[in-house]
């Protein structure tokens, strides 16, 4: 159980790691539980029996966890935000009075409030700032070039200095690590996260993934696993977003429960549509399927153009906002054999398209 007494603590100012919480208790059993929850959240706490004698420790800690046994000993400490009174007795009415006396923001009872507390500790340990601008890319039909555009967007974002994570959500696509020339790179792939539940640490996730072209890549391996439970997908993408910067997701055209979890966390998605009538018809079905979950879907048109079609007409037929015409670059039709990833040539038409997209999208995100 967790209850609010006064006000919520302020969010951490920025995306850097903020350090672990301060624990104040003499209850050995309670301390063991709090240390276990800190370990689950990836945080190393500072432990005291009362208000720390070292000047500034009480005030500087990002979060203070006060055991109910220690409430009397911290009653005279300076009032601050981010204090949680932790106890075990659900039926003790005096706990609320003691929480007010020490200026606690929350009263939390174990074991019921464990997941809430793990999330809160992880927030302060990681630093919670603006979540990553999360963009999905999917093809209106097979071979539309969605994976190429997803890679180019990620490579361009990283080149512009944004913390960038590229997520391969299509287990049958062959692996984006292959597209980026990093199929042998060390790091975890999707099957390693299949058992994830609850909260995944953002920093730990990022450090565990292959680093290619200054960005992190979560792809599929060449094994038999082609599904990850929806709750694991939800936890992993949420962790990726907490790090800030940009997250690019290469999406399959089918919508299953795992893909629906991703769609729900996207800020926007680009539907890549070749400029031909059959592709437009197929893209209409894809747009209808993802539109039930996705909040913001836009169309990116790829030539060559069939007679009577241009990018504006394709967008009109689909009833979607137009992002623009996606340039087709020689040598990138089969990027895994080109020796360079899509978007790597900074002055190329494709890189310019991606750079202009990010400029507009980031402005929209800041204004939202």
The DSSP H or E segment spanning 150 is helix 146-159
Compute the average pLDDT of residues 3-21.
49
d(CA 291, CA 136): 13
For 92-120, write each residue's pLDDT tens digit: 989 999 999 999 999 999 999 998 898 88
For 216-231, write each residue's pLDDT tens digit: 999 998 888 888 999 9
User: Residue 197's pLDDT band (boundaries 50, 70, 90)?
Assistant: confident
190 has a pLDDT exceeding 70: yes
Compute the average pLDDT of residues 68-97.
94
328 has a pLDDT exceeding 90: no
User: Residue 6's pLDDT band (boundaries 50, 70, 90)?
Assistant: very low
In degrees, to the nearest 5, what angle opens at C-alpha 315 toward C-alphas 248 and 306?
A: 105
What integer pLDDT is reported at residue 2 of this predicted model?
Answer: 54
What integer pLDDT is reported at residue 15 of this predicted model?
Answer: 42
Compute the average pLDDT of residues 304-312.
93
Compute the average pLDDT of residues 157-165.
96
Strands (E), 37-132: 46-48, 64-67, 83-87, 106-109
For 254-281, write each residue's pLDDT tens digit: 999 999 999 999 999 999 999 999 999 9
- The DSSP call for residue 111 is T
91 has a pLDDT exceeding 60: yes
What integer pLDDT is reported at residue 43 of this predicted model?
Answer: 87
- Chain mean pLDDT for the chain: 89
233 has a pLDDT exceeding 70: yes
Work out whether strand 2-4 and strand 106-109 pair parallel, antiparallel, or are unpaired. antiparallel
In 3D, which of 59, 86, 56, 54 has the Cα closest to residue 70?
A: 86
d(CA 10, CA 63): 10
d(CA 195, CA 228): 8
Backbone angles phi, psi at 2, to 5 degrees: -130, 135
User: Residue 1's pLDDT band (boundaries 50, 70, 90)?
Assistant: low
Compute the average pLDDT of residues 193-200.
82
In 3D, which of 1, 39, 3 has the Cα closest to residue 21?
A: 39
What integer pLDDT is reported at residue 333 of this predicted model?
Answer: 44
151 has a pLDDT exceeding 80: yes
286 has a pLDDT exceeding 60: yes
d(CA 182, CA 19): 33
d(CA 124, CA 121): 5
Compute the average pLDDT of residues 11-20.
51
Residue keyed to tokens 């439970």? 229
341 has a pLDDT exceeding 50: yes
Q: For the chain, first and last CA: distance in Å?
A: 34
Residue keyed to tokens 């153009």? 305
d(CA 311, CA 319): 12
In degrees, to the nearest 5, what angle opens at C-alpha 366 toward C-alphas 341 and 146?
A: 30
């Amino acid at each position: 159980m967790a209850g609010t007494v006064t006000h919520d603590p302020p969010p951490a100012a920025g995306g850097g790691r903020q350090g672990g919480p301060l624990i104040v208790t003499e209850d050995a059993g309670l301390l063991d539980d709090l240390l276990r929850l800190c370990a689950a959240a990836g945080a190393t706490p500072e432990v005291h029996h009362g208000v720390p004698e070292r000047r500034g420790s009480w005030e500087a800690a990002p979060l203070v966890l006060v055991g109910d046994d220690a409430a009397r000993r911290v009653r005279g400490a300076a009032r601050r935000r981010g204090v949680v009174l932790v106890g075990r007795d659900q039926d003790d009415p005096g706990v609320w009075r003691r929480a007010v006396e020490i200026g606690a923001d929350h009263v939390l009872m174990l074991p019921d409030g464990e997941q809430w507390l793990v999330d809160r500790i992880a927030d302060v340990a990681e630093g919670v700032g603006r979540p990553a601008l999360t963009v999905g890319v999917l093809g209106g039909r097979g071979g539309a070039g969605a994976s190429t555009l997803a890679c180019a967007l990620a490579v361009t974002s990283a080149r512009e200095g944004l913390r960038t994570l590229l997520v391969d959500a299509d287990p049958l696509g062959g692996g984006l690590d292959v597209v980026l020339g990093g199929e042998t790179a060390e790091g975890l792939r999707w099957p390693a996260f299949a058992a994830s539940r609850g909260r995944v640490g953002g920093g730990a996730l990022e450090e565990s993934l292959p680093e290619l072209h200054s960005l992190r890549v979560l792809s599929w391996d060449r094994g038999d696993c082609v599904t990850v439970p929806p709750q694991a997908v939800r936890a992993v993408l949420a962790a990726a977003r907490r790090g800030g910067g940009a997250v690019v997701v290469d999406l399959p055209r089918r919508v299953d429960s795992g893909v629906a979890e991703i769609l729900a966390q996207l800020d926007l998605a680009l539907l890549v549509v070749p400029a031909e009538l059959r592709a437009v018809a197929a893209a209409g079905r894809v747009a209808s399927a993802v539109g039930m979950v996705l909040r913001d879907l836009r169309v990116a048109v790829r030539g060559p153009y069939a007679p009577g079609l241009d990018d504006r007409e394709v967008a009109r037929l689909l009833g979607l906002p137009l992002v623009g015409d996606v340039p087709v670059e020689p040598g990138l039709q089969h990027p895994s054999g080109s020796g360079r990833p899509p978007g790597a040539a900074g002055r190329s038409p494709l890189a310019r398209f991606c750079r202009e997209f990010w400029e507009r999208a980031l402005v929209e995100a800041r204004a939202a």
